[in-house]
């Protein structure tokens, strides 16, 4: 009985999200993207990397719905495979940011004192850099590859999570149920993970959704600059850069990856907004 | 002698000379400067692109001692090449007046030929300066400031008869003293000039009389004429050099068709007509301007709008649209450069000739040329392209893709199930295209080529450090291929990065080094290329095109295989 209470809560949350404007639309796009990433090998009509030199720069047709690129590769297939790089970058980078950021935020907010001061000053320093510039610098230092791009983007997202979690801990620390738990002798770990942790899930989920969007966009930017996914592995950002050279002869090379990046990033952003709208007690739907 | 040769092949010299290589796919500085996604590729190409001068810039590396010994050369035929034929009189047609703006990928770097090998600078030099010799459209060396020349019987010196009555723009007489001052300034260690490496065996110049200069060598150097027909033959005014000192690079004084007027840094260089030019009736134009514009689209639009009248290095993808534009005239010729996949012959799997040949047979050069380059360049299967001396058009090896043969060779080489290797390439979009296409073609013989993307400087450094299995590089060796043969494939070359070792090749190369007669030498070059195609130390891929683009109003332009736009005969049709 007790166990079903959170489930009911989340069902209620989903129900509210669904009613936010554009939320179903963004949710569907996100689900399609995840589906494409997982089943790329099955649904992609062609190889994403094999050059067919007889078919270069074909305009969109029934056989190649998004045309072919300068090496005769099917653009649709490359976009489908490119989802893998984008989503994995989004998820892994956010995972890195969340794990490190939340841990630091918890420590900082719970113990306060010098730990808090030092950690937060470091976070401030990181926040002082524009996200993309910092990611560029880190990737340039580590060397160009998808993994390094993920690490870089993860590092960039750390301070956002750290500050968010720290703020939540500070607020929740004074909540009645935490004070009472402490008064009956609950240990720090129990208070952190049993009482404070679950109660700050909502803002974290919102931040995760926004962070994934940021990570996808940043990965595309890094790949555009040649610092992310290494060719011939497809990535949206790199395809966009490649298409730029042919913008007058073969505009589809740049349009389709561009539109894809736009849709997916927007979907994650809208989803984050929807979660926030759905859960914000001050808003009435 | 050898000891002297081995002097200081410092890392810097090496890199500088490597600069003469442009990195695979970088067809021209123009493309390179904008094509790449990263700044690195841009900067490489800036170093990388050298034209006629660059041809021999490589020599500075081979100075390292890899040169066939002097003894061999000394025993060579005491041939004398002379050309008394004066340059044919310019066509008297053409209307005076008008201005031409040439757009190139970046602004000039220096107006002093002693201190740059950049193409953007060589272009401007062709207007302000003259060289001792020039190439004609068939790549023969013809007179310019020198009217005739002759090698000594032992090939240890060359004597040049100079043109009389030529004056520098500042009034200084052009004579043997000027030649001596210019060449010895290039050689002066204090100048640290990249030109020194292009004339490695020159020890000095004697002014025999007012109009006779004798160039002394410490060993036979049969390709000296080609160095002097490149930017290294550029003659500067000794008085101006004295007068301006370090500021000479901003105050150039030559004998050329146009007189330097101004250099607005990061924008343009302008030169106006030399009214006293020694070529009667020339030039036609009032002035020429060289403008640095990094975005090729802006350049093409500029030509459409007639703000720009000439440019060079058009990307293959733009060739078709430019050709069909009635306002433009396109000159499309094979360049002197060749793109290759360079293999490290010293390590497995490319230590086996069969494996190297298998890779070469598996590549469909014609399909690549058509799909990626719209047939602007020429597929090649030898070290030399159609514009190089010694090009052998009859080499049929690898001319047509043969997968069965490739598979047989793989089996013969002990890799029947294919293998995988790492290939380095720059991260510019042009070189990536080529590399990815070849990767796909090699998949058909189960050979997996993993691409390692590097910036240009790192790629060249890895070559020097022998940290590669294969590497995509485009080499512009100029018309005369000797330095290239010597540097890359002579087994005693100091920068022996490729591990090719063939006594037959070495012997033939030594023979070529001592053969001053050009027809004979070209025959030897053909044999050398044949040998290289057979042994396949590199997989030769294509000769990119040399493209030059003019407004339709431009007339009188004469193409030169040195890659430089010579504007003295150009006029504007009204």
Condensed to tens digits (0 to 9), the pLDDT of residues B484-520 reads: 898 889 888 766 679 999 999 999 998 988 887 888 9
**∠ CA B240-B244-B249 to the nearest 5 degrees?**
90
Please list, residue by residue across A6-31, b when 16 or more beta carbons sit within 10 angstroms of its beta carbon and e when fewer do. Answer: eeeeeeeeeebbeebeebeebbebbe
CA distance B155 to B75: 10
- Joined together, the tokens standing for residue B317 give 């993808």
Torsion over CA: B88, B91, B97, B102 (sign): negative
Point out the residue among B370, B432, B443 whose CB comes nearest to the CB of A231: B432
pTM: 0.76
How far apart CA B221 and CA A205 sit, in angstroms, is 75
Of A144, A225, A231, the CB nearest to B436: A231
Chain A residue with the nearest C-alpha to that of B454: A144
Hey, which bits of B236-356 come out as E strands? 258-264, 268-273, 287-292, 310-312, 328-334, 337-343
Model pLDDT, residue B495: 64
Distance (Å) of CA B35 to CA A244, B396, B439: 10, 33, 21
Average pLDDT over residues B337-357: 94
3-class secondary structure, A82: helix
Angle in degrees, CA B302, A57, A254, rounded to 5: 65
* Whole-number Å distance between alpha carbons of B94 and B97: 9
Residue A52 placed within a domain: no
pLDDT-based confidence at B298, cuts 50/70/90?
confident
**Domain at A145, CATH number:** 1.10.3720.10
Q: Cα(B308)–Cα(B329) distance, rounded to whole angstroms?
A: 13
* CB–CB contacts below 8 A, A to B: 65
Closest CA to B283 of B574, B561, B549, B566: B566
Report, as an integer, the average pLDDT of B438-465. Answer: 89
Cα B566 to its chain centre, rounded Å, is: 16
Mean pLDDT, all residues of chain A? 89
Q: How confident is the model at residue A4 (pLDDT cuts 50, 70, 90)?
A: low
In terms of C-beta distances under 8 Å and separation of at least 24 residues, what long-range contacts does B200-206 make, across chains too?
B200/B5, B200/B59, B200/B60, B200/B62, B200/B63, B200/B67, B204/B180, B205/B176, B205/B179, B205/B180, B206/B180
User: For residue A6, is it within any domain?
Assistant: no
Of the listed ranges A135-139, A145-149, B62-66, B569-573, the one predicted with least confidence: B62-66
Residues of the domain holding A153 = 25-37+71-279
Judge: B437–A231 Cβ closer than 8 Å, yes or no. Answer: no
In a domain, A43, yes or no: no
Of B2-11, B156-165, B451-460, the poorest mean pLDDT is in: B2-11
Q: How far is CA A126 from CA A119, A122, A155, A162, A163, in A?
A: 11, 6, 9, 11, 12
Q: What pLDDT does A283 receive?
A: 54
The lowest-confidence range among A45-59, A231-245, B52-66, B232-246 is B52-66
Sign of CA dihedral A78, A75, B313, B370: positive
Residue among B137, B158, B150, B58 nearest B566 (CA): B137
| CB-CB under 8 Å, A144 with B453 | yes
Interchain proximity B440–A49, CB inside 8 Å: yes
Q: Looking at chain B, which residue has its C-alpha nearest residue A57?
A: B371
User: Pairing relation of β-strands B337-343 and B470-476?
Assistant: antiparallel
Chain B CB within 8 Å of residue A251 CB? no
pLDDT score of B315 more than 50: yes
B301 and chain A in contact, CB less than 8 A = no
Whether omega for the bond prior to residue A70 falls within 30 degrees of 0, making it cis, is no
Check CB contact of B38 with chain A, cutoff 8 Å: yes
Task: Choose, out of A47, A148, A231, A248, the residue to mutate when testing the contact with B (most B CBs < 10 Å).
Answer: A231
Q: CB–CB of A231 and B37 under 8 A?
A: no
Given its phi and psi angles, is residue B354 left (phi above 0), alpha (psi -120 to 50 degrees) or beta? alpha
Residue A109 within any structural domain of the chain: yes
Instruction: For chain B, positions 405-444, list CB contacts with chain A under 8 A.
Output: 427, 429, 432-433, 436-437, 439-441, 443
Of A50, A242, A245, the CB nearest to B440: A50
Report the DSSP pairing between strands B448-454 and B420-426.
parallel
- Domain assignment present for A58: no
From A51, A225, A249, residue closest to B437, measured CB to CB: A51
- Quick one: closest CA in B to A242, which residue? B429
Residue window 362-401, chain B: list those with CB within 8 Å of chain A. Answer: 364, 367-368, 370-372
Q: Of the candidates A225, A232, A245, which has its C-beta nearest B429's C-beta? A: A245
Query: Which candidate, B44, B502, A93, places its Cα nearest to that of B35?
Result: B44
Is A56 in Cβ contact with B371 (below 8 Å)? Answer: yes
Q: From the list A227, A241, A246, which residue is nearest B317 (CB)?
A: A246
Spell out which residues of chain B touch residue A224, defining contact as CB-CB under 8 Å: 37
Residue A270 in domain: yes
User: What would the pLDDT profile of B6-61 be if each residue is shown by its tens digit?
Assistant: 334 444 444 444 444 444 333 333 223 332 222 332 223 333 333 333 332 322 33
- Mutating which of B35, B298, B372 best tests the A interface, going by the most A Cβ atoms within 10 A? B372
pLDDT at B134: 92
pLDDT digits (tens, 9 = 90+) for A224-278: 888 888 888 999 999 998 888 888 889 999 999 999 999 999 999 999 888 888 8
Residue A154 lies in a domain: yes
Specify whether the CB–CB gap between A238 and A225 falls below 8 A. no
Number of domains in chain A: 1
pLDDT, one tens digit per residue, over A179-232 is: 999 899 888 888 888 888 888 888 898 899 999 999 999 999 998 888 888 888
Q: Which residues of B490-520 are buried (b: 16+ CB within 10 A; e: fewer)?
A: beebbbbbbebbbeebbebbbbbbbbbebee
Q: Which residue has the higher pLDDT, A141 or B91?
A: A141
* Domain assignment of residue A234, yes or no: yes
* A137 inside 8 A of chain B by CB: no
Which residue in B35, B321, B429 has the most chain A C-beta atoms within 10 A of its own C-beta, making it the best mutation to test that interface? B429
From B78, B184, B207, B83, select the one nearest B133 (Cα to Cα).
B83
The ipTM value here is 0.79
> Nearest-CA distance from A53 to chain B in Å?
5
Q: What is the rounded distance in angstroms from the CA atom of residue B27 to the CA atom of residue B563?
A: 12
Distance of alpha carbon B268 from alpha carbon B108, whole angstroms = 8
The Cα A153–Cα A161 span in angstroms is 13
Any CB–CB contact under 8 A between A246 and chain B?
yes
pLDDT in tens, A6-37: 778 778 878 888 887 788 899 999 999 999 99
pLDDT digits (tens, 9 = 90+) for B283-296: 999 999 999 887 78
Q: Hey, is the C-beta of A54 within 8 angstroms of any chain B C-beta?
A: yes
Q: Report the gap between the CA of B329 and the closest CA in chain A (Å).
A: 20
SS3 state at A7: helix
CA gap B313, B332 in Å, rounded:
10
pLDDT of residue B236: 93
* Residues 6+ positions from B338 with CB-CB distance below 8 Å: B380, B383, B384, B385, B388, B474, B475, B477, B540, B541, B542, B543
B453 touches B3 (CB < 8 A): no
Residue of B nearest to A227 (CA): B38
- Give me the residue label for tokens 């090449």: B81
Q: Does A71 touch chain B (CB under 8 A)?
A: yes
Do B44 and B471 contact (CB within 8 A), yes or no? no
Give the per-residue pLDDT at A154. 95
Cβ contact, residue pair A225, B436, below 8 Å: no
Please report where in the chains the tokens 């069909």 appear, as a residue. B324
């Amino acid at each position: 009985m007790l166990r079903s209470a959170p489930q009911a809560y989340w069902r209620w949350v989903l129900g509210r999200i669904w009613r936010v404007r554009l939320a179903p639309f963004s949710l569907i796009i996100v689900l399609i993207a995840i589906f494409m990433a997982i089943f790329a090998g099955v649904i992609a009509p062609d190889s994403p990397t094999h050059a067919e030199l007889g078919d270069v720069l074909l305009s969109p047709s029934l056989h190649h719905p998004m045309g072919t690129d300068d090496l005769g590769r099917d653009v649709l297939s490359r976009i489908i495979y490119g989802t893998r790089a984008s989503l994995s970058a989004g998820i892994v980078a956010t995972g890195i940011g969340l794990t490190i950021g939340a841990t630091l935020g918890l420590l900082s907010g719970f113990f306060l004192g010098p730990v808090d001061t030092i950690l937060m000053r470091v976070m401030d320093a990181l926040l002082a850099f524009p996200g993309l510039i910092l990611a560029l610098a880190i990737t340039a230092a580590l060397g160009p590859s998808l993994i390094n791009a993920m690490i870089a983007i993860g590092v960039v997202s750390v301070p956002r999570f750290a500050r968010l979690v720290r703020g939540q801990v500070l607020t929740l620390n004074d909540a009645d149920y935490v004070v009472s738990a402490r008064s009956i002798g609950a240990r720090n770990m129990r208070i952190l993970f049993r009482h404070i942790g679950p109660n700050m899930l909502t803002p974290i989920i919102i931040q995760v959704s926004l962070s994934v969007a940021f990570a996808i966009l940043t990965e595309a930017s890094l790949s555009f600059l040649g610092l992310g996914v290494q060719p011939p592995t497809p990535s949206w950002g790199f395809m966009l850069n490649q298409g730029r050279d042919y913008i007058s002869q073969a505009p589809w090379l740049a349009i389709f990856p561009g539109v894809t990046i736009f849709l997916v990033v927007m979907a994650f952003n809208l989803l984050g907004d929807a979660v926030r709208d759905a859960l914000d007690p001050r808003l009435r739907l | 002698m050898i000891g002297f040769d081995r002097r200081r092949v410092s890392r810097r010299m090496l890199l500088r000379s490597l600069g003469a290589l442009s990195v695979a796919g970088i067809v021209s500085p123009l493309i390179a400067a904008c094509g790449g996604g990263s700044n690195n590729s841009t900067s490489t190409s800036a170093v990388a692109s050298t034209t006629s001068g660059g041809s021999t810039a490589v020599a500075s590396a081979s100075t390292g001692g890899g040169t066939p010994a002097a003894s061999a050369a000394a025993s060579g035929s005491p041939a004398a090449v002379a050309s008394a034929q004066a340059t044919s009189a310019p066509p008297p047609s053409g209307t005076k007046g008008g201005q031409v703006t040439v757009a190139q990928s970046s602004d000039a770097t220096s107006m002093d030929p002693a201190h740059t090998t950049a193409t953007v600078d060589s272009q401007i030099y062709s207007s302000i300066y003259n060289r001792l010799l020039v190439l004609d459209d068939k790549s023969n060396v013809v007179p310019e400031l020198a009217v005739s020349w002759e090698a000594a019987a032992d090939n240890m010196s060359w004597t040049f008869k100079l043109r009389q009555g030529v004056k520098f723009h500042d009034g200084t007489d052009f004579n043997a003293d000027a030649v001596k001052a210019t060449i010895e300034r290039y050689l002066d260690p204090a100048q640290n000039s990249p030109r020194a490496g292009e004339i490695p065996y020159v020890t000095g110049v004697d002014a025999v009389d007012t109009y006779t200069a004798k160039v002394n060598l410490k060993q036979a150097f049969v390709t000296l004429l080609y160095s002097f027909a490149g930017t290294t033959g550029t003659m500067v005014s000794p008085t101006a050099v004295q007068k301006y000192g370090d500021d000479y690079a901003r105050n150039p004084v030559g004998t050329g068709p146009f007189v330097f007027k101004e250099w607005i840094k990061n924008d343009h260089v302008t030169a106006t007509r030399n009214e006293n030019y020694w070529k009667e009736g020339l030039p036609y134009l009032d002035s020429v301007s060289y403008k640095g514009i990094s975005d090729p689209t802006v350049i093409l639009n500029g030509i459409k709008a007639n703000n720009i009248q000439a440019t060079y290095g058009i990307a293959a993808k733009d060739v078709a649209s430019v050709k069909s534009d009635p306002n433009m005239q396109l000159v499309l010729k094979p360049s002197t450069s060749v793109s290759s996949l360079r293999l490290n012959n010293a390590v497995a799997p490319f230590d086996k000739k069969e494996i190297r040949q298998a890779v070469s047979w598996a590549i469909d050069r014609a399909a690549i040329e058509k799909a990626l380059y719209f047939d602007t360049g020429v597929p090649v299967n030898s070290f030399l392209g159609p514009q190089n001396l010694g090009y052998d058009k009859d080499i049929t090896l690898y001319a047509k893709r043969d997968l069965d043969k490739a598979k047989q060779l793989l089996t013969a080489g002990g890799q029947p199930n294919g293998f995988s290797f790492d290939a380095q390439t720059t991260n510019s979009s042009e070189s990536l295209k080529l590399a990815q296409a070849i990767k796909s073609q090699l998949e058909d013989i189960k050979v997996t080529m993993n691409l390692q993307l590097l910036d240009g400087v790192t790629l060249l450094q890895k070559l020097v450090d022998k940290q590669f299995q294969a590497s995509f590089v485009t080499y512009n060796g100029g018309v005369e291929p000797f330095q290239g043969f010597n540097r890359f494939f002579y087994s005693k070359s100091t920068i022996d990065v490729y591990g090719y070792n063939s006594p037959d090749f070495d012997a033939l190369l030594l023979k070529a080094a001592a053969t001053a007669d050009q027809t004979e030498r070209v025959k030897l070059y053909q044999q050398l290329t044949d040998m290289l195609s057979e042994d396949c130390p590199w997989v030769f891929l294509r000769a990119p095109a040399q493209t030059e683009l003019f407004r339709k109003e431009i007339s009188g332009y004469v193409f030169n295989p040195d890659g430089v736009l010579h504007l003295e005969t150009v006029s504007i049709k009204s």
